[in-house]
Amino acid sequence: MAAPIVVEVVQSASSASPDPALSEALIDSCSAAAGPGGCVLDAQRPLEARARVVVTFSSADAGARVEVLAPIAGGEQRSREVAFRGGDPRLERFRAAGLIVAGLVSGAPQSEPPERLSTPAPRAPGPSETPRRVGVRLQAQSGWNAARPWGGAAIGAEFDVVGPAFLALSGSYDQTWTRDPMGIAGRRTAIGAGGGIAAPLIADRLELRVRLALELQELRASIVQPSTRREDEGSRTATGFETSIDLVMPIAAGLSGFCGGRFDWWGGTTTVRVQAVPAETIGAWMASIAVGLSVRF
């Protein structure tokens, strides 16, 4: 019968002890990938083992160090460090650590006989590199511009770069809910590019994301005069900026919901002439609230 991989889960001094179900999820994930013998927790260790591995989670389970302690061929030490994003569910972090354990042991030399277990001192987690990920956002929004309510939708993409920073691309469309008493309606189409910062507020439960982007937008106003039913419209292109703040709440692995606010500014008003009198149709800025979903890959 093949010997198992024995896994010891170690928590840093500032992190809470893991729920037994989380450790079991780590073992299940490891066993599924490790093949014959599977994986067991250190508390259930047999006299012989295929390998002994220590998994050390950092504060709030923000990262983990996985180190193969035995067997080690020719002094070679096998280890890997990984950092998790604030939006990653805690359960998925433990499952990912289990897969790393199986991968490291599978890559170790198989010609050496199993060694008897010894109890090592816990190893402190070292610095790690945050894995880069991509997120796609879909949102609905409702705002206020030129004393009139507007509604719209937006789609965006976010690309993690260094630490909590990310690049952001977006496209959005907004229009007035109805025509005003003079028959005037407005609409706005915009594309933007910029960046932002993500900051966890409550581990695995709530994240703050702040973005700032430059925008290129087309502003279009149209009129249908109530008395004559005459129609006319005009448009202009403007540049400006958009800033937004979101509160992000995980729903499932890779899927989150968010709500927040955004502010758009494009530097000037858009007017049309109604019965030879100028009428403002689109103001120089718009404040909105937004809700939506984010999927991360």
Domain ranges of the chain: 5-116, 134-296
- pTM, two decimals, is 0.57
Per CATH, the architecture of 134-296 is what?
A: Beta Barrel (2.40)
Model confidence over 19-45: pLDDT tens digits? 788 889 999 999 998 888 889 988 776
Tokens 């966890």 belong to residue? 200
Q: CB count, 10 Å around CB of 199?
A: 10
pLDDT of 72 higher than 80? no
Q: Which helix (H) or strand (E) segment is 248 a member of?
A: strand 231-252
Confidence of residue 128 (pLDDT cuts 50, 70, 90): very low
Per CATH, the architecture of 5-116 is what?
A: 3-Layer(aba) Sandwich (3.40)
How distant, in Å, are the alpha carbons of 39, 53, 77, 141, 241 from that of 149? Answer: 59, 59, 63, 11, 20
Residue 89's pLDDT is 85
Confidence of residue 110 (pLDDT cuts 50, 70, 90): very low
Residue 125's pLDDT is 45
> Is the distance from CB of 133 to CB of 160 less than 8 angstroms?
yes
Q: Which helix (H) or strand (E) segment is 91 a member of?
A: helix 90-106
Overall residue count recorded for the chain in this entry: 297
pLDDT of 126 higher than 50? no
